[in-house]
Homo-oligomer: A and B are copies of this chain.
């Protein structure tokens, strides 16, 4: 049985303030926990059920942090999931990453994406489309928010990110900045090169006025129906797909 103090401590990590203070965060569920254990994180505690140990004996055995056998009920008491019969892991936040966007590279920049689900989904999208670097404005959702980590489906382990003032860092990259907006050039009509930073704006107001002058190319997803807009994670995916589509085929070749 897990101690009251452990329960209390993990519950305290639901709060951003405590996560920051302790420099610890947690993830839940088999998918995210196994991805984290296989990646390069310093594990503080692994709380797992008997089922999880039977499915992943080596991961539990080789874990360098404290390991505790718990029940699904205990996991549900500590975590944010309604049901969790596998594991929860507490890990140390990595040191802030430092990177620049290189020539010939495609990266993302997020201007105040507030919804944790959207941020997590965007991380998963970036990982699918082979986009390794994401620059996050300071007002973007916190990456260690449990909802972000959950929506990322393990992809947070494979993406590099940094929080930075976009007004400062975007001009430093020597690549084109593409700004997604409602009145840009139709991406279907552009021969997009796989180099640059794709800038996605806030859910309500889009790209902020002060960042607009940094954008070299305003781009838009064409609308064929009547919805006012697309969700920002959806728009990110469609734009990434348009950037990557020229990689393999210059023209659609197979009639169907």
Contact of A226 among B127, B217, B222, B230 (CB under 8 A): B127
Assembled-state Cα–Cα distance A62/B171 (Å): 52
- Residue pair B155, A227 in contact (C-beta under 8 Å): yes
**Is A54 an interface position by the 8 A CB rule?**
no
- Residue pair B124, A191 in contact (C-beta under 8 Å): no
- Residue pair B224, A130 in contact (C-beta under 8 Å): yes
Contact with B along A184-204 (1 / 0, CB 8 A): 011011111100000000000
Interface range on chain A: under 10, 10 to 19, 20 to 34, or 35 or more?
35 or more
Assembled-state Cα–Cα distance A153/B226 (Å): 11
**Is A238 an interface position by the 8 A CB rule?**
yes
- Name which residue of chain B comes closest to A243, CB basis: B224
Number of copies: 2
- Residue pair A126, B225 in contact (C-beta under 8 Å): yes
Assembled-state Cα–Cα distance A238/B191 (Å): 18
Contact with B along A209-229 (1 / 0, CB 8 A): 000000001000111111111
- Residue pair B248, A186 in contact (C-beta under 8 Å): yes
- Name which residue of chain B comes closest to A223, CB basis: B128
Assembled-state Cα–Cα distance A256/B193 (Å): 7
- Name which residue of chain B comes closest to A196, CB basis: B256
- Residue pair A153, B227 in contact (C-beta under 8 Å): yes
Contacts of A79 in B (CB 8 A): none
Given A132-B225, A189-B248, A193-B256, list of 8 further CB < 8 A pairs? A121-B234, A124-B230, A186-B248, A186-B249, A188-B249, A189-B254, A191-B254, A191-B255
A interface residues with partner B (beta carbon < 8 Å)? 117, 121, 124-132, 151, 153-155, 158, 185-186, 188-193, 217, 221-231, 233-234, 237-238, 241-242, 244-249, 251-256
